[in-house]
Amino acid sequence: MSTNDTRIYLASGSPRRREILEQLGLHLERIHADIDETVRPGEDAVAYTERLAREKAEAGWRVVSSCGLPERPLLAADTTVTQDGEIFGKPENADDARRMLRAFSGRSHQAITSVAVRDGGRLLVKTSVTDVFFKPLSDAEIERYIDSGEPFDKAGAYGIQGKAGVFIEHIEGSYTGVMGLPVHETALLLAEFGFELP
């Protein structure tokens, strides 16, 4: 692949990941890659996130191969949130979102994003871990946020780039990692496959 080729496959439906990659000058083709996201017994959050990113990349690559699409790098990612050893995925309903937001209120948790890139016989993974510190949340703030509908497609029931930004006192790590695609780690990975960014 030439270094000026900016086309990649994206095995993710996340508009946030698409936006970040497009801001880096990449041209994306979405690949649908469904996997089982069940946490395995004894699996910690980093191992879980890295496994899902790898499995999404492999599933996406199988789609590319089976459809006879041109070979080019495929990127997949997974984000999860963890606190006190518990993994917080996307909330199942309002009660689940409420439980998560109350757990984070006035405390820190970690947002973990693993990025995988697959091309030919190579699959490489990098992981970003960010400490996120929430202010104490009132019940009214939690209810207004749930009523906005924003929590329901996001790990940990919040999006740092949306209305929940007002909940966050500070972070230690990667802002884009909390969004779902850490730019620094992603650029390092893509450089391994011949991309020159920005």
Indicate if 78 belongs to the active site. yes
Catalytic residue among 34, 78, 95, 96: 78
Asked if 145 contacts 158 with a C-beta cutoff of 8 angstroms, the reply is yes
Indicate the angle between helix axes 94-104 and 139-147, nearest 10 degrees.
140
The pair of three-digit structure tokens given for residue 87, joined into one six-digit string: 């993994």
DSSP 61-117: HHHHHHTTPPP--EEEEEEEEEETTEEE-S-SSHHHHHHHHHHHTTSEEEEEEEEEE
Q: How far apart are CA 24 and CA 6, in angstroms?
A: 9
Asked if 134 contacts 60 with a C-beta cutoff of 8 angstroms, the reply is no
The pair of three-digit structure tokens given for residue 161, joined into one six-digit string: 């780039």
List residues with catalytic annotation.
Answer: 78
